[in-house]
């Protein structure tokens, strides 16, 4: 079996490789550019993906040429009219309104994300629209960021940096800015998939004593790779010194991290979420952090995004909030855009996508 790192490299090579076509097929398609499928790209995606679309000679595409500002909804509803394909990112809500605006020509949606909670899956299934997405290529980047966020939170690095900059660094004190170690700890994972396994693989050298997890059902093959024990959600909360949330946002997991879960956690526990903000009830999290029910939280995802700077969570020293950057490495974002582009082109040719969401 390939290691997760080897598998990622293989997937990146597949994603970045441009599609090849016979010269006869290319010549035939290029005879009349106006007959090519129309595609709208909702963001200025990284260059690897754009290059694949440009070099393919298989589509005519228009894009919202900004990386900073999402395409306004009114603009999006206008631009999708009559398109055959749509390449989007997670900031665009693909719902019945948008699909109605697009019309019956729309056959393929390719999202540059592993999550798909921004897609109305029932509407897409009902209309027979195929969906490509970008799992696996971001596993290493997300796992690395999760470990960094866990360490920054548990060892209070943001607090410490602030104290050093603002004059709070005085004489050496015995318990000042003390945090919690991974050595001899129990690490819990809610939602054991490739990312959860990759996180555990990176934490194991820190002398973690035990890994536990919960999911909709036991996942023995994945658990075996990290020697993790399957437990109930209640036991996950009770036993975990560090709890990492890695599950997808579904109707079943919406706000699954709530007052009930936090009340069962240790007051020395660290809570980390790099999945989706919607799996957490943020009011309950604020209460747990502000009352000392749990020791700290590190969040890369929130509701909404961006989280308003006036939000109460920003007032807490024991809450570290990042602006959804888990997959933000140059190689990973390029691999994601390339995979999204190739998924789109393959779908428009009625061929199997590299990564297709089965509806």
- pLDDT for 10: 53
Q: Which two tokens stand for residue 199?
A: 């996180």
- pLDDT for 25: 46
Query: H helices within the chain, ranges in order?
Result: 4-16, 23-30, 47-56, 73-79, 96-102, 121-127, 139-154, 157-166, 194-203, 220-226, 233-239, 259-264, 282-290, 330-348
To the query of whether residue 118 is one of the catalytic residues in this protein, the response is no
**Where are the chain's structural domains?**
38-137+332-357, 157-165+177-317
pTM: 0.88
Query: Which one from 118, 162, 311, 324 is the annotated catalytic residue?
Result: 324
- pLDDT for 213: 98
CATH superfamily of 38-137+332-357: NAD(P)-binding Rossmann-like Domain (3.40.50.720)
Query: H helices within 194-329, ranges in order?
Result: 194-203, 220-226, 233-239, 259-264, 282-290
Q: Over the chain (359 residues), what is each successive 10-residue block's mean pLDDT?
A: 44 48 46 81 96 96 94 98 98 97 98 95 97 96 98 98 96 96 98 97 98 97 97 98 96 97 98 98 98 98 97 98 97 97 98 96
Please give the CATH topology (third level) of the domain spanning 157-165+177-317: Rossmann fold (3.40.50)
- pLDDT for 32: 58
Check for a shared fold between 38-137+332-357 and 157-165+177-317: yes
């Amino acid at each position: 079996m390939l290691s997760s790192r080897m598998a990622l490299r293989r997937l990146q090579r597949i994603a970045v490789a441009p599609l090849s076509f016979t010269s006869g097929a290319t010549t035939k398609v290029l005879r009349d550019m106006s007959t090519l499928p129309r595609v709208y790209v909702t963001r200025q995606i990284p260059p690897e993906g754009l290059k694949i679309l440009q070099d393919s000679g298989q589509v005519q595409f228009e894009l919202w040429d900004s990386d900073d500002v999402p395409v306004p909804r009114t603009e999006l509803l206008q631009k999708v009219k009559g398109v055959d394909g749509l390449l989007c990112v997670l900031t665009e809500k693909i719902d019945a309104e948008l699909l109605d605006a697009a019309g019956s020509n729309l056959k393929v949606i390719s999202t540059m994300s592993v999550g798909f909670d921004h897609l109305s899956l029932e509407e897409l299934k009902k209309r027979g629209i195929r969906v490509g997405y970008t799992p696996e290529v971001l596993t290493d980047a997300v796992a690395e960021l999760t470990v960094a966020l866990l360490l920054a939170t548990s060892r209070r690095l943001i607090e410490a940096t602030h104290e050093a900059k603002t004059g709070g660094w005085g004489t050496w004190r015995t318990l000042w800015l003390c945090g919690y170690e991974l050595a001899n700890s129990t690490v819990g994972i809610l939602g054991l998939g490739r990312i959860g396994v990759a996180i555990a693989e990176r934490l194991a050298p820190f002398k973690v004593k035990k890994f536990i997890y919960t999911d909709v059902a036991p996942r023995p093959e994945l658990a075996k790779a990290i020697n993790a024990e399957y437990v109930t959600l209640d036991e996950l909360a009770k036993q975990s010194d560090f709890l990492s949330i890695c599950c997808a946002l579904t109707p079943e997991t919406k706000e699954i991290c709530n007052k009930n879960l936090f009340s069962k956690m240790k007051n020395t526990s660290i809570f980390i979420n790099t999945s989706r903000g919607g799996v957490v009830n943020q009011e309950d999290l604020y209460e747990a952090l502000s009352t000392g029910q749990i020791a700290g939280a590190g969040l890369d995802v929130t509701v909404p995004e961006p989280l308003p700077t006036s939000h109460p969570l920003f007032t807490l020293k024991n809450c570290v909030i990042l602006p959804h950057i888990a997959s933000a490495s140059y190689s990973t974002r390029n691999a994601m855009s390339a995979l999204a582009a190739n998924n789109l082109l393959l779908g428009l040719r009625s061929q199997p996508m590299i990564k297709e969401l089965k509806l």
